[in-house]
Chain A
Amino acid sequence: DVVLTQSPLSLPVTLGQPASISCISSHRLVHSDGNTYLSWFQQRPGQSPRRLIYKVSNRDSGVPDRFSGSGSGTDFTLKISRVEAEDAGVYYCMQGTHWPPWTFGQGTKVEV
């Protein structure tokens, strides 16, 4: 199974400052169809998760442009250009290239 390792696991951030979360995969995540199925999810306290980014760098509808995803192969990053109060929560990377299973990282708690 693919293991996704996130760092840091806890990220204190200051309003208006940038933040970055790393996700390292145990296997290259390029699918035979040429796509890389690496997504990022946000879970605010008490809420269901919400997908922010799919296929490494594509923002879902309604996701603010301060969120961006990048990376390739085994190394991926989620960046928040200027943290806002509503960005507090836990962020998970997830791979859907080598399934089953679909696997999630351990989660990174962002504290604003």
Chain B
Amino acid sequence: EVQLVESGGGLVQPGGSLRLSCAASEFTFSSYWMHWVRQAPGKGLVWVARINDDGSSTSYADSVKGRFTISRDNAKNTLYLQMNSLRAEDTAVYYCVRDLTGEDDAYWGQGTLVTVSS
């Protein structure tokens, strides 16, 4: 069964940094685009970042551009999100997602909560 397991969330002060990881299993990780999508408490879904299958191309939401970096290690089947200069408005559950629009199932992880507060 396909699994995506996020980790690395927690409480961080404004201006701080955090690195999220997403461990993928039971599918050919290197064949899929991957995304990070976040959801603030009680709010809707917001796309954050995307990386192509070999890691050569990335895209970001304007709200995180220049502060967040998406990357992947296909040898370790792991997706990352490096988050710097964190703000209170970055507080959310962060989900890693396999291929939002493709014909294969778009699997979501269970999410990891990031709380930015002093």
Q: Are A94 and B100 in contact (CB under 8 A)?
A: yes
Among B14-22, B24-32, B45-53, B75-83, the one that faces the other chain is: B45-53
Near B by CB (< 8 A), chain A positions 89-111 give 90, 92, 94, 96, 99-107
Q: Which residues of B contact A60 (CB under 8 A)?
A: 105-106
Q: Are A48 and B100 in contact (CB under 8 A)?
A: no
Q: Are B105 and A48 in contact (CB under 8 A)?
A: no
In the bound complex, how far is the Cα of B83 from the Cα of A81, in angstroms? 43
How far, in Å, is B40 (CB) from chain A's closest CB? 12
Q: Are B108 and A107 in contact (CB under 8 A)?
A: no
Pick from A41, A61, A99: contact of B45, CB under 8 Å: A41
Per-position binary interface string of chain B over residues 93-118, scored 1 when its CB falls under 8 Å from any chain A CB and 0 otherwise: 00100001111011011110000000
B61 at the interface (CB under 8 A from A): yes
How far, in Å, is A4 (CB) from chain B's closest CB? 10
In the bound complex, how far is the Cα of B105 from the Cα of A39, in angstroms? 12
Q: Which residues of B contact A105 (CB under 8 A)?
A: 44
Known: A37-B101, A39-B100, A54-B101. A104 touches B45 (CB 8 A): yes
In the bound complex, how far is the Cα of B2 from the Cα of A51, in angstroms? 14
How far, in Å, is B27 (CB) from chain A's closest CB? 13
Question: Interface residue count for A (Cβ, 8 Å)?
Answer: 26
Q: Are B106 and A104 in contact (CB under 8 A)?
A: no
How far, in Å, is A19 (CB) from chain B's closest CB? 19
In the bound complex, how far is the Cα of B44 from the Cα of A49, in angstroms? 11
Q: Are A100 and B61 in contact (CB under 8 A)?
A: yes
Known: A48-B108, A54-B101. A106 touches B44 (CB 8 A): yes
A58 at the interface (CB under 8 A from B): yes
Q: Are B47 and A39 in contact (CB under 8 A)?
A: no
Known: A37-B101, A54-B106. A48 touches B44 (CB 8 A): no
Given A92-B45, A96-B101, A101-B61, 18 more A-B residue pairs with CB atoms under 8 Å apart are A37-B101, A39-B106, A49-B37, A49-B45, A49-B108, A51-B105, A54-B103, A58-B103, A60-B106, A96-B100, A99-B50, A99-B59, A100-B50, A100-B61, A102-B47, A104-B45, A107-B44, A107-B45
